[in-house]
Chains A and B, each alone.
Chain A
């Protein structure tokens, strides 16, 4: 008797559609960064005087613009299964190269092309080393970082460079409508990165390469070329950000400061793009960057000690990464 019942169940089993995940849960977990950022925004808007003021908002966006430019394309690298630490070194050295080019040629166009070109070249080098020499991308870009930091000291002869032309700062600081040019540039770069990732065949190939390199290969994806290209783009983005930075600050100086790439990776990770690769989105990175910027801005207005600001930022990043790996584990277990 129980025999036939089991048999009937077995026959009915495959006909049932797979259970759909509950929509509320999906909205909460998948768009977590959106709710958290919104909540922080509303909280600061209500509690902190001056937060919502136009000048303050413009400031927050302007400060994040350079980080967003790097982070938009770093998102592609991380989704593709890599890590580009060298963005910091490229950021610094491309600014130096741009100012040198400006002072030598007197042309802002040449200066921008030189800065972006250096970044692109550095990115291509990273791409070749990671994709074809198969060196772990974290280590490879750490190594090339020192290369570019060193190049920065050499090119600048260890001194602060000042742009000869006063117009140079307009590249980043001019007001166009409500926002600065740097902010407008960052919006354009973010839109470009979003389009590439979400709308193009290349974008799909990035997800496939980072998510399962063997499956991508067996689906005809040239995974090495994809990897090389995301690194090239990441370098070019850092080069552009560094060029803008020299305009924004009116100077370029060599250093070996990694903090730019730390801010970039923090934005990507807090946004919820998985460091394991294969999952994430550019809009997440934008929200991640805004969340961190609102937080810092709120702290500054409330005059929280900068030391404590760092501690809290560290905790936020740990929580973000922890949530990611927790969500991943619980999904795999189900």
Chain B
């Protein structure tokens, strides 16, 4: 057997107390497309960064062409023919494609850049790999997909023979992603090794020769892509059968009253109107692409953004003021998309985070009654099962799952009518995911109207009693019961409007 291009032998990488990669042994063959898949935080990106010299292993050895290497920096890795095309592109927008490709490596004679030589070399390269971009255009004027091609050209222009691509299709449309995948196949046929880190299992299966599945920093398995299916990969990623992933759906009887009634709501000025009715005990999922306006609808209902029109009524009472205070007083809670940027006071205790919206209930003459507060926070924390040594720990010290549970506790403390949750499982580990599903179901079971947004179609199907598909700030489809299939949702998502996928 040929010497592998890169080999990991017992490599570990820790960040603080987190084991990002734990005792990894993995072989990446020369000229192959090697797919790396796994949940968020499973360690797949870390492997990519170890290969590209961004991180250094804490333990174990990396071998390049059979000999041990220890890259000190990405630059050092590049000198060994390894480079990375990251999610965030690192191009100079105000320079041409040609300048960017040769940036830092300009062919020059006596300090004068040899433009003709550049052009010739670049054209030869483009010819060889079949990447089609306007070479004299300004990079900042190009769409993301073309910029990515420039990144790849730059990698090849530096004679890289191993390219790590971290979520390269995340910001591309379906066609652009297809084009990128064929470039990847072509590179591999030319002898370049590609390490493809991706969430999109179908794309990985389409283009990869070998797929490695990561879970909790460990390699679950590494084998030929031909032996895997999307389902087998997902089950390996989450470590259990897909069927047991969601709690049972308990649909409320048709006679239960409508709690949340949204009529003619415009989330953006001049945008389409949204009508929405949610009954007590009902779980409604908002599906759609990132940027389709799902979050804006939730925020407009909550009063976090000024409504451009329309009305929101809770239990028949219209929310007149366009303020979050009015919504909270009506018993509505919002768990925002980013718990760190929009949800938590990271430096304050769990107690303070949980009670923040309810201090009026817990105060007398403007003074917080400490005992009532502690009792209320403790009960809410117990309701959602926050695992912490004490409620006086800061939110910063909690895991992603427990941080998210703290936000559920915040609203469970005095939830009376509606719970809105925006991407409630984003960035939490698998065990906590199931716990959060249970919390959403628990909220509905106690009579709340639950509306949640999720980018994972799987999750929407698994949890929602009814799914509303959002596109361009409008609800374009309503699906329930038998209609709740991945195909129907995807059809509705892509049937109209934007094509951008994230």
Bound pair: A and B?
A: yes
Residues of A within 8 A of B (CB): 3, 6-7, 9-11, 13-21, 199-205, 207-208, 211-212, 214-222, 274, 278-279, 331-334
Q: Can you offer 8 A-B residue contacts whose CB atoms are under 8 A?
A: A10-B431, A18-B397, A201-B360, A204-B359, A215-B344, A215-B345, A278-B347, A333-B15
Min CB distance B331 to A, Å, is 12
Chain B interface main SS type: mixed
Closest chain-B Cβ to A81's Cβ sits at a distance in Å of 12
How far in angstroms is the closest Cβ of chain B from A273?
A: 12
Of all chain B residues, which has the CB nearest A12?
B431
Given contacts A11-B431, A21-B397, A220-B325, contact A334 B345 (CB under 8 A): no
A sample of 18 more A-B contacts (CB under 8 A), given A18-B402, A219-B356, is: A14-B387, A14-B431, A14-B432, A15-B387, A18-B387, A18-B388, A201-B363, A207-B345, A211-B348, A214-B336, A215-B336, A215-B344, A218-B334, A219-B410, A220-B325, A220-B329, A331-B396, A333-B15
Looking at the assembled complex, report how far the CB atom of B301 sits from the nearest CB atom of chain A, in whole angstroms: 13
A332/B396 in contact, CB under 8 A:
yes
Q: Sorted from nearest, which 3 A-B pairs have the closest CB atoms?
A: A20-B389, A14-B431, A211-B345
Which chain A residue has the least Cβ–Cβ distance from B236?
A3
B390 touching A10, Cβ below 8 Å: no
Residue B304 lies at the interface, judged by CB distance under 8 Å to chain A = yes
Q: Which of B239, B334, B347, B363 has the most CB of A within 10 A?
A: B347
B366 engages A222 (CB within 8 Å): no
- Output the least CB separation between B339 and chain A (Å): 9
A211–B348 Cα distance when bound, in Å, is: 8
Q: Are A218 and B342 in contact (CB under 8 A)?
A: yes
How would residues 235 to 254 of chain B score, 1 for a CB under 8 Å from any chain A CB and 0 otherwise?
00001100000000000000
B104 contacts A by Cβ under 8 Å:
no
B465 interface contact, C-beta 8 A: no
Q: List residues of chain B with CB within 8 A of the CB of A16.
A: 387
Chain B interface extent, by class: 35 or more
B-side contacts of A207, CB under 8 Å? 345, 348, 352
User: Which A residue's beta carbon lies closest to that of B335?
Assistant: A218
Contact between A10 and B216 (Cβ–Cβ < 8 Å)? Answer: yes
Residues of A within 8 A of B336 (CB): 214-215, 218
Contact flag A200-B398 (CB < 8 Å), given A10-B430, A208-B345 = no
Q: How far is B386's CA from A18's CA once the two chains are assembled, in angstroms? A: 9
Residue of B304, B359, B368, B402 near A217 (CB, 8 A) is B304
B389 touches A10 (CB 8 A): no
Q: How far is the CA of A218 from the CA of B340 in the complex (A)?
A: 13
Q: Are A14 and B16 in contact (CB-based, < 8 A)?
A: no
In the assembly, what is the distance between CA of A219 and CA of B333, in Å? Answer: 8
Cβ-closest chain A residue relative to B338? A214
Q: Complex formed: what's the CA distance from A334 to B430 in Å?
A: 21
Asked whether any CB of chain A lies closer than 8 Å to the CB of B218, the reply is: yes
A221 and B348 CA atoms in complex are apart in Å by 16
